[in-house]
Amino acid sequence: MHLPDGLIAVVKRDCPTCQLTAPVLASIHEAGVPLVVYSQDDPSFPSGVTVVDDSPLEVSFDLGIEIVPTLIQVADGKPLRRVEGWVRQDWQALTGLRELGTDLPALRPGCGSLSVEPGIAERLAVRFGTTRLTSRQVDLGELEDDLEACFDRGWTDGLPVVPPTAERVLRMLEGTARSKDEVVAVVPPDLAACTVEKVAINAVLAGCKPEYLPVVLAAVEAACTDEFNMHGVLATTHFVGPVVIVNGPIAREIDMNSGVNALGQGNRANATIGRALQLVIRNVGGGRPGGVDRATLGNPGKYTFCFAEDEVGSPWESLASERGIESATRGAVSLFAGEGVRGVVDQLSRTPESLAGSFAACLRTVAHPKLFGRWDALVVISPEHARTFRQAGWSKPQVRSRLLELLTVPAEELVRDVDGIAEGMPTSSDGALTKFSPGGLWLVHAGGQAGMFSAIIGGWSGGPGGSQLVTREVGP
């Protein structure tokens, strides 16, 4: 865009301050100062000056106008200095006219530019912006319902989604400093390259806010590692799907829920971040039920399963700290291949020994009470249960060590056909077996302040060919 040298003013008739300064603009013109006025809503306003119709708002967008009136000094086609609203002293300095506007108040704030109004700003970015989306544009028929179109094209998880218009995707991309063309991950099962833009599209579909996008990006990165083994998580007939645990300041910044009903519904960030990850796997990677996703039953968490750890009220270090990411960072996302939630109900234990016994008894049922050594588990310990451990001075490693000790059982009790149950460990097993490996039992703190209920999220195979907990730092 070529700008004329001299002064430029951007105004709109529907602005009291612009109307106040209309005679001032005429005075600048009469004084022989080069001046062009761009009017956003009425090419006949103001009178007595050269007016250019900017109702398409291209000039306002290119100049980044946020307030009208704005007076800009231009030299060699480039903006140098600007004044927003009416500030008599600054207008006098910019024009060189010392007596300018002496009959007006010294200061009057302006109005919002039409170019930054909600909805309009995004449309202008699509039309005039330098950021161009590279994803294929799908044109809908005039009578086609956009929500139904998303269902018809297989972009949903079975629930309605937010249509990913170009305006919404550009708005979502404002949530990260990363380039839209950066490849975030290669997504299984199709091993498709997934850019920041593709993640943003699915974040829109899921209903995310732009400020959630860095968390979604970290979750996608974690899911697509060899350690997490997203392809295996999809292909297994087991129940599991990605469970997303968020730590650090970012969880509080975006108002994630780590308290009452933390594993349930009602919080937008919790609900949509986990959903966005699942939609990326579906829409970019091709991981769909009945295709590579072969779960016999699945679990409701495969729609979305995401929550924040309550670090403020926790007696222990956070999961992120345990994983080597300090709390001073922006935050971290951990992924665990988990099934549905099973409750631990113990309202009577007042000693850590008794409570650990209850946890161990419930943990033994993960997968099957007679299957040991292969399965992982994530334990979400509520504040009331955590208080029992806190008051006794038990650290997280101490709790984990005691649970593993209680979950070490003579192999003869676990072999197949014992107790008339065909399922179990091979008959060659001897000595004692431990339910989980030390790296297969994770403890996090979350939940409401009232209620002596904790939760176990059973995992999948943690050995070769299985899935390991993966943590990634949240980026810009």
Can you give the pLDDT at residue 130? Answer: 67
| Residue 261 or residue 462, greater confidence | 261
Is the pLDDT score of 464 beyond 80? no
12-64 residue pLDDT tens: 999 999 999 999 999 999 999 999 999 999 999 999 999 999 999 999 999 99
- N-term to C-term CA, the chain: 31
Tell me whether strands 51-53 and 35-39 are parallel, antiparallel or unpaired: parallel
318-343 residue pLDDT tens: 999 999 998 668 999 999 999 999 99
Q: How far from 351 is each of 362, 364, 466, CA to CA, in Å?
A: 17, 20, 36
| Residue 85 or residue 122, greater confidence | 85
Can you give the pLDDT at residue 121? Answer: 83
350-378 residue pLDDT tens: 999 999 999 999 999 999 999 998 889 99
Please report which confidence band the pLDDT of residue 1 belongs to, taking 50, 70 and 90 as the band edges.
Answer: low
Can you give the pLDDT at residue 42? Answer: 95
Q: Where are the domains of the chain?
A: 6-128, 150-473
Q: pTM to 2 decimals?
A: 0.84
Query: What is the CATH class of 6-128?
Result: alpha beta
270-284 residue pLDDT tens: 999 999 999 999 999
Is the pLDDT score of 249 beyond 90? yes
136-185 residue pLDDT tens: 888 888 888 999 999 999 999 999 999 999 889 999 999 999 999 999 99
111-121 residue pLDDT tens: 999 999 988 88
Question: What contacts 24+ positions apart, CB below 8 Å, involve 135-139?
Answer: 135/169, 135/197, 135/198, 135/201, 137/166
Can you give the pLDDT at residue 327? Answer: 61
Q: Are 243 and 457 in contact (CB under 8 A)?
A: yes
